[in-house]
A and B are shown apart, each in its own frame.
Chain A
Amino acid sequence: MPEAVLLYFCGAFKSTSSPLSMRMRLSPYASLFRRTFLTFLSVSVLSISASAEVSAEAGKKLFKANCASCHKLDKKLVGPALGDVTQRRSEEWLLKWIRNNAEFRASGDKDANAIFEEYGGSVMQAFPALTDDDIKSILAYTAEGDKKAAPAPGDAATAPAAAPAESASSPWLMYVLGGFLLINLVLLLRVRNTLKQLNGENPTSLLEDLDIVTKILVANKRFMTFLTVVLALSFLYATYAYLMSVGVEQNYQPVQPIAFSHKIHAGDNGVDCNYCHSSARHSKHSGIPSANVCMNCHMYIDGSEIVDAAGNPKYGGERSPEIQKIYAAIGWDPEARTYIEGYEQKPIQWVRIHNLPDLAYFNHAQHVTAGQVECQTCHGPVQEMEEVYQFSELTMGWCINCHRETEIKGDNGYYAGSIDGSASISDRLVERFHNEKITAASIGGLECGKCHY
């Protein structure tokens, strides 16, 4: 079956890219390419699946691809709920309506025009590419609903993607070893005691043993000197480490006003970081998305459709309380599906996690656009974070280290181009540094005034 093959291929493609860290490392162009490719595939699926049989399974895929942005099974969205549409209308009527509703309305069908009026004249697009079988599949899916439909192979491939691998190194091993040593020491002392008894000497208790050992050690000047030095050094190191950590807010994870999960958005759904943090490419600030950016998706996704792993609705089919906070901020009436006139909007007061001191100038665009550094390099695996925390220490040493190690993008026209016909900056850098790596430090990335002014 060509459809199955294609779906399989599609799923396979997805699954190869499913390790999330890899997915995020794709450049915006690559991800665009991937999306285009997938769209192309799904279109191919649609067109080739003409010969396929009617199945609710295929219908679900088609529904998600073509209908879900305006329709839900169980409630009104832009258009009516479609859960029981097959009972309301005849299949013949539905075929005509779905294929080209404008033409159908023009033919003077009363019901068609009535429903058009009922929904405020919002125009539904025509689907000339859908075959009768496709439409019947969709209708079959609407009649069956979600519970009976088996998950599509593609979905299955993506779902269990994020299986975190625990690090093998564990402090338990050290504790166990330490315990063994301690037991061995006690055993040795006991053995020595038994030997003493055999020799006819006075047996000593464990405490007395310890007392003797301590006395020997205290009497040993070398040992005491060594111990003092070790203790002093440890104390100094601990003080130094403590002082160096003052103001370093690594792992800072404040509670946010909305329990926003980067894992769901950037991870599970693969939303590009730049989609929401769009100013990171242009500005010194990465930009926290304004509520209207959230609404681009959450106008349609209100949480009632979210299902947990077992396939049960996460919020009992109700709207997610977290998503409703966005509605409260911007003034969206999810029932009427309109923005409320004259609503006093309430900005969302997020808690800032990454706080650089004012004396340091940091520019996101410099790193994201000019340096093409991945967001994760500094922010860590955000796509795996339910709640974002500060991944890096954000100290000057940490910045400087990266500047020493990171090579510049010498093919950028700024370096490679020549303004006056003489050697370009790239050429001059190669001449000066020969075969060395040309890093941010080579072009002055360690100079005070580059970040402090």
Chain B
Amino acid sequence: MASNKVYWKSFDQLANTEVSQRLAENEFAQDIPADVFLADERSLEAQTSRRDFLKFLGFSTAAATLAACEQPIIESVPYVVQPDSLTPGVPSFYATAYTDGQDYASVLVKTREGRPIKVEPGDAGRFNRGTNARAQASVLSLYDSARLRGPILNGKDSDWASVEASLKKAADAALAQGSQFVLVTSSVFSPSLQAAIERLRQGYANFQHVEFDAVSQSNTLDVWEALTGVRALPSIDLNTAQLVVSFGSDFLSGSTAQQLSSDYAARRKPGTGMLRHVELESNLSLTGSNADKRVKIKPSEVSGALAFLVNELGGSAAKIALRDDLTKALKSVAGELKSANGKAVVLVGGDDTNVSKLAAALNALVGAFGTTLRADKPVYLRRGSEARVANLIADLNAKRVGALVVAGTNPVYFRPDFEKAIKSAKFSLSVTDRMDETAVLCSAAAPLPHYLEAWADFRPVAGEYTVAQPTIKNLFNSKSLLEVLGGLSGDPRSAKDQVAAVAGSLGLNWNQTVHDGGAAVTSGSAAGAPAGAAAALAASAKVSKPVNGMELALYENAVGAGYQANNPWLHELPDPVTRLTWDNYLTIAAADALAMGFENETNSDGSLDGSYATLKVGKRVLENVPVFIQPGQTAGTVGLAYGYGRTSAGKVADELGVNAYALGAATGYATVEISKAEGTHEFATVQLGHTMMGRRIVNEVSLADFIADPKGTNWNEKPTFHTIDGHKTSEEANLWANHDHETMHMWNMSIDLNSCTGCGACVVACHIENNVPVVGKQEIRNLRDMHWLRIDRYYSSDMSKERAEEERIGGIEMYAKMEEPSESPSVVFQPVMCQHCNHAPCETVCPVGATVHSREGLNHMAYNRCIGTRYCANNCPYKVRRFNWFNYMANEQFADVNPSQDDYGRMVLNPDVTVRSRGVMEKCTMCIQRVQYAKLEAKKAGQPLADGGFTVACAEACDTGAITFGDVNNAKSAVRAAKADARAYHLLEEVGTQPSVFYLTKVRNA
């Protein structure tokens, strides 16, 4: 019975140390911060006599009394001419497309009084519709006060005319002198920008356009370009897939994660034909955490493993000796691939030419071409070429570049060789959103509009054209790249006109296209690739021998490539697997850590400390990298996240973490020398607090058991109590009077643990929707995070009661082994927010009635009644209540992290939700502002409230549809159907709290 697995949250809990026991007993790991001012010696030595004290007291009382006599005058300033489309207090929604240099997504932007305040998924059916954590958080990047405000020329504030004139002069001079004029961008998949670049090329014979991606796919693109003739990656279609085999591709958080997550979850509905996922990887990634079967592999073994599979499936590739256990695992994978012929797909991570060739060949052999792997429907999001970057660096160093324009990217940060090279350009201009590492080295810098401020268009995938419209006027003196390039090539049209011309040339109705955010078009398809040619690639691929030393695998967490590194929401979001915040660190296997002397130590206050390491890749050295011991990490490998270690991004990102790009591992993998360094690093984790101990928290069942027992009699038993009248469930054995939940609505939420991938988009969405404060690293280290919604991650052990019985293992040894990590632990994610108990323990202990029940099944929290006793949080079995220890909006301790402390960041606040002050408790309200709004809209329209017409912020942000919210009194609602599902159970049902939130059992296709 899989549900008897024991989950544990950390090594400390596993070892059941004194610290973790104490933490489990205490809701608040830290006492009241009296030590903060007691530690200040000056305040203790200060001499204040009793008379002085009384004088101060008297004066402040009198002053406060006088100040209270006068009410401030509040002005109310209406528009002079109010726009027709705007009603103050009513949100407007605009379809647009989100891009930040790395990501692309089709989104819908909510604006209030002309301010974008929330990014929601775009129309159903659009490519990569949906919002990951970065897309959700991107609205705050708009209001980043570190953005560049106006053009800068030679270090002095300037204007656009001068900067453009200087650029034109430099470009013309370069043309005359025969030196180069180079434009550096990230991948360009905008038809209008491509057209503008083409016009520039016409005017300047010396013009070069260099595209590169921060996390490169250059080699993979080369392989596919040779196959299809189009520089683009094939799209992956999981809709018909039965089996996905991934070699560290982390496809659930990659560039098309929204699309893939949604298809993945849809294909993993429990039942016969459920998609099976086998992951072979070195780091324990988000994607690997979701796999049905996970095999640990070193990056250098991947080509050998792929070659083995190619040979097993009838192809021909070089043979190489592999570990026995790996060979065994690969044989079983090969068997599965054979039986899933035509319905399987193999995905690979990193950017190795040989691996890409072997993967293409393997996909050809399993019949993926044209079915699960669509080379005829290429994705244009990645087009970069590292060869051209290398050429450019050589040209720069040889002083062959007369004019350099860097637009919307940051080569000095992404490619360490640029730092020296860029200084050799005669004239360099960085069109950028901030004075980043590149801009500070350029002769000129000019602000680029945020994606929410500018017109743009995109062709993300064959067959789709999307238009991005601005949702706010430019906050700063920025100019679209279309207009900057247009100015050079003598094209006076505005960005909007350029986009409209492209849309017109595609035969699209402009207004309709803008309204819908895009349209299906016929252009841009590729012929597709012949499977035969792909299969033949295997022979030409070089299969490398596994490396003996330590190997580094770079990965992306929520911060991604680092374009939005100055966005505090992304740092506050815990990494789904490590549960650490505000950091990047070296993940290492426990055995390797022991061998090298690295330690992770939990202090008495529950905070985590770690050793430092020095990394050496070739000649490049990265110092002071914190080390974190990660279960599931392949021995002999370490992982490190991109996107940190910025030096010129803004007060949030600067000096945070280390820069993984500095190691120059272009393929994402490298052989690394690791040595221990001095010092102790302070981690900020949300992991050790709020433990739920070893009870049945996540219910899990294998697919076979699920199919054999669809009613869940054996795997989803309700806990019962012995009573004088026999066994009773917690609902029947009830001490309390029931609330009236039948008359009006009864809001319930279903969370499908089978669909949740743990990505964290919901956590960021919740932050934005509910004005949840950002508290920063130190407060999270103090276990005072403010997340209303957290995603618990549990590792499992392979030991179970059944196995103990079989192997005749005794009780003590069994429990000891249950706490032992398996070689490769299976992982589950469980989003937990306020469960809105109908018999809520918090309500009964509040001395002031600040938290009370509603007849719609919600647990209300009246902030202004709260006096901060924190009894409710102590009495909450789910540990979901959060206390405002500080006034995060004004306390200068949080000035660097809390966006609401400056006038720009404050614009992102949701005007319908109160900003809480110090000393009050807060928690998930089930987005009551949305519930109330939807009810009012229904009343205004005179219609009954329809199911699916609205939902809560977390459910809306979820690409996989794991969260369903609705009225169970509506017999036709989706949530009512979910509640009747055999998989449904309540968290800690035995406590008898009768929550309004319920979970659907996870089914593992093992």
Say whether B475 faces chain A, with CB atoms less than 8 Å apart: no
> Are A355 and B74 in contact, CB atoms less than 8 angstroms apart?
yes
Given contacts A365-B936, A422-B971, A429-B743, contact A290 B863 (CB under 8 A): no
> Are A413 and B81 in contact, CB atoms less than 8 angstroms apart?
no
Say whether A214 faces chain B, with CB atoms less than 8 Å apart: no
Q: What's the Cα separation between A420 and B970 when bound, in Å?
A: 6
> Are A432 and B862 in contact, CB atoms less than 8 angstroms apart?
no
- Bits for A335-365, please: 1 = Cβ < 8 Å to B, else 0: 0000000000111111110010011010101
- Chain A residue nearest in CB terms to B940: A369
Q: Within B950-993, which residues are at the interface with A (CB < 8 Å)?
A: 970-973
Instruction: Give chain A residues whose Cβ lies under 8 Å from the Cβ of B76.
Output: 288, 349-352
Say whether B90 faces chain A, with CB atoms less than 8 Å apart: yes
Say whether B71 faces chain A, with CB atoms less than 8 Å apart: yes
> Are A444 and B744 in contact, CB atoms less than 8 angstroms apart?
yes
- Bits for A271-286, please: 1 = Cβ < 8 Å to B, else 0: 0000000110011110
Q: What's the Cα separation between A365 and B914 when bound, in Å?
A: 20
Instruction: Give chain A residues whose Cβ lies under 8 Å from the Cβ of B82.
Output: 290, 292-293
> Are B863 and A359 in contact, CB atoms less than 8 angstroms apart?
yes
Instruction: Give chain B residues whose Cβ lies under 8 Å from the Cβ of A420.
Output: 970-973
A-contacting 9-mer, from B51-59, B673-681, B816-824, B853-861: B853-861
Q: What's the Cα separation between A249 and B73 when bound, in Å?
A: 12
Given contacts A283-B89, A358-B914, A424-B944, contact A288 B78 (CB under 8 A): yes
Report the minimum CB–CB distance from A367 to chain B (whole Å).
Answer: 10
> Are B81 and A363 in contact, CB atoms less than 8 angstroms apart?
no
Residue total for B at the interface (Cβ-Cβ under 8 A): 56
Q: What's the Cα separation between A418 and B970 when bound, in Å?
A: 9
Instruction: Give chain A residues whose Cβ lies under 8 Å from the Cβ of B944.
Output: 413-414, 417-419, 424-425
Instruction: Give chain A residues whose Cβ lies under 8 Å from the Cβ of B928.
Output: 449, 453
Say whether A366 faces chain B, with CB atoms less than 8 Å apart: yes
Instruction: Give chain B residues whose Cβ lies under 8 Å from the Cβ of A330.
Output: 80-81
> Are A452 and B946 in contact, CB atoms less than 8 angstroms apart?
no
Instruction: Give chain A residues whose Cβ lies under 8 Å from the Cβ of B858.
Output: 449
Given contacts A414-B945, A419-B944, A447-B852, contact A348 B90 (CB under 8 A): no
> Are A428 and B940 in contact, CB atoms less than 8 angstroms apart?
no
Q: What's the Cα separation between A349 and B944 when bound, in Å?
A: 41
Report the minimum CB–CB distance from B887 to chain A (whole Å).
Answer: 14
Instruction: Give chain A residues whose Cβ lies under 8 Å from the Cβ of B971.
Output: 420-422
A290 touches which of B73, B81, B913, B925 (Cβ 8 Å): B81
Given contacts A254-B73, A279-B88, contact A448 B860 (CB under 8 A): yes
Given contacts A283-B90, A351-B73, contact A413 B744 (CB under 8 A): no
Say whether A156 faces chain B, with CB atoms less than 8 Å apart: no
Report the minimum CB–CB distance from B368 to chain A (whole Å).
Answer: 44
Say whether A291 faces chain B, with CB atoms less than 8 Å apart: yes
> Are B941 and A413 in contact, CB atoms less than 8 angstroms apart?
yes
Report the minimum CB–CB distance from B929 to chain A (whole Å).
Answer: 6
> Are A348 and B77 in contact, CB atoms less than 8 angstroms apart?
yes
Instruction: Give chain A residues whose Cβ lies under 8 Å from the Cβ of B914.
Output: 358-359, 452-453
Say whether B79 faces chain A, with CB atoms less than 8 Å apart: yes
Q: What's the Cα separation between A372 and B742 when bound, in Å?
A: 26
Report the minimum CB–CB distance from B778 to chain A (whole Å).
Answer: 28
Q: What's the Cα separation between A349 and B73 when bound, in Å?
A: 11
Say whether B939 faces chain A, with CB atoms less than 8 Å apart: yes
Q: What's the Cα separation between A359 and B861 when bound, in Å?
A: 12
Say whether A412 faces chain B, with CB atoms less than 8 Å apart: yes
> Are A292 and B972 in contact, CB atoms less than 8 angstroms apart?
no
Q: What's the Cα separation between A290 and B78 when bound, in Å?
A: 5
A contacts with B: majority SS: loop
Instruction: Give chain B residues whose Cβ lies under 8 Å from the Cβ of A350.
Output: 75-78
Say whether B718 faces chain A, with CB atoms less than 8 Å apart: no
Instruction: Give chain B residues whose Cβ lies under 8 Å from the Cβ of A412.
Output: 939, 942
Say whether A227 faces chain B, with CB atoms less than 8 Å apart: no
Instruction: Give chain A residues whose Cβ lies under 8 Å from the Cβ of B654.
Output: none
Say whether B938 faces chain A, with CB atoms less than 8 Å apart: yes
Instruction: Give chain B residues whose Cβ lies under 8 Å from the Cβ of A348.
Output: 77-78, 80
Q: What's the Cα separation between A444 and B854 when bound, in Å?
A: 7
Instruction: Give chain A residues whose Cβ lies under 8 Å from the Cβ of B744.
Output: 425, 428, 443-444
> Are A425 and B743 in contact, CB atoms less than 8 angstroms apart?
yes
Say whether B18 faces chain A, with CB atoms less than 8 Å apart: no
- Chain A residue nearest in CB terms to B76: A352
Instruction: Give chain B residues whose Cβ lies under 8 Å from the Cβ of A449.
Output: 852, 854, 858, 860-862, 925, 928
Say whether A370 faces chain B, with CB atoms less than 8 Å apart: yes
> Are B932 and A414 in contact, CB atoms less than 8 angstroms apart?
no
- Bits for A396-432, please: 1 = Cβ < 8 Å to B, else 0: 0000000000000000111001111110110011001
> Are B864 and A359 in contact, CB atoms less than 8 angstroms apart?
yes
A282 touches which of B90, B912, B943, B945 (Cβ 8 Å): B90
Q: What's the Cα separation between A272 and B912 when bound, in Å?
A: 28
Q: What's the Cα separation between A350 and B971 when bound, in Å?
A: 50
Q: Within A56-95, which residues are at the interface with B (CB < 8 Å)?
A: none
- Chain B residue nearest in CB terms to A326: B80
Q: What's the Cα separation between A252 and B854 when bound, in Å?
A: 35
Say whether B892 faces chain A, with CB atoms less than 8 Å apart: no
Say whether A203 faces chain B, with CB atoms less than 8 Å apart: no
Say whether A270 faces chain B, with CB atoms less than 8 Å apart: no
Report the minimum CB–CB distance from B554 to chain A (whole Å).
Answer: 43
Instruction: Give chain A residues whose Cβ lies under 8 Å from the Cβ of B935.
Output: 414
Instruction: Give chain A residues whose Cβ lies under 8 Å from the Cβ of B157.
Output: none
Q: Within B818-875, which residues are at the interface with A (CB < 8 Å)?
A: 850, 852, 854-856, 858, 860-865
- Bits for B914-929, please: 1 = Cβ < 8 Å to A, else 0: 1100000000010011
- Chain A residue nearest in CB terms to B862: A448
Instruction: Give chain B residues whose Cβ lies under 8 Å from the Cβ of A413.
Output: 941-944
Report the minimum CB–CB distance from B648 to chain A (whole Å).
Answer: 37
- Chain A residue nearest in CB terms to B943: A413
Most buried by A among B68, B75, B947, B972: B75
Q: What's the Cα separation between A291 and B971 when bound, in Å?
A: 49
> Are A347 and B860 in contact, CB atoms less than 8 angstroms apart?
no
Report the minimum CB–CB distance from A369 to chain B (whole Å).
Answer: 5
Say whether B740 faces chain A, with CB atoms less than 8 Å apart: yes
> Are B913 and A453 in contact, CB atoms less than 8 angstroms apart?
yes
Instruction: Give chain B residues whose Cβ lies under 8 Å from the Cβ of A425.
Output: 743-744, 944
- Bits for B670-704, please: 1 = Cβ < 8 Å to A, else 0: 00000000000000000000000000000000000
Instruction: Give chain B residues whose Cβ lies under 8 Å from the Cβ of A414.
Output: 935, 938-939, 941-945
- Bits for B71-115, please: 1 = Cβ < 8 Å to A, else 0: 101111111111000011110000000000000000000000000
- Chain B residue nearest in CB terms to A345: B80
> Are B71 and A249 in contact, CB atoms less than 8 angstroms apart?
yes
Q: What's the Cα separation between A453 and B940 when bound, in Å?
A: 21
Q: What's the Cα separation between A377 and B855 when bound, in Å?
A: 28
Say whether A289 faces chain B, with CB atoms less than 8 Å apart: yes
> Are B743 and A452 in contact, CB atoms less than 8 angstroms apart?
no
Say whether A246 faces chain B, with CB atoms less than 8 Å apart: yes
Report the minimum CB–CB distance from A190 to chain B (whole Å).
Answer: 48
Q: What's the Cα separation between A100 and B443 when bound, in Å?
A: 71
Q: What's the Cα separation between A347 and B82 when bound, in Å?
A: 11
A291 touches which of B81, B915, B942 (Cβ 8 Å): B81
Most buried by A among B74, B865, B912: B74
A and B contact pairs by CB, cutoff 8 A, 25 listed: A278-B87, A279-B87, A287-B88, A348-B80, A349-B77, A359-B863, A361-B912, A366-B939, A412-B939, A412-B942, A414-B938, A414-B942, A414-B945, A417-B944, A419-B947, A419-B972, A428-B744, A432-B740, A444-B855, A444-B856, A447-B852, A449-B862, A450-B932, A452-B914, A453-B929
Q: Which residues of A contact B (CB under 8 A)?
A: 246, 249, 252, 254, 278-279, 282-285, 287-293, 329-330, 345-352, 355, 358-359, 361, 363, 365-366, 369-370, 412-414, 417-422, 424-425, 428-429, 432, 443-444, 447-450, 452-453
In order of increasing CB-CB distance, the 9 nearest A-B pairs are A449-B860, A283-B89, A413-B942, A370-B939, A417-B944, A290-B82, A448-B862, A420-B971, A352-B76
Sample of 11 further A-B pairs with CB below 8 A, known A419-B946, A453-B925, A453-B932: A282-B90, A290-B81, A349-B77, A351-B75, A361-B912, A365-B940, A366-B936, A413-B942, A424-B944, A425-B944, A449-B925
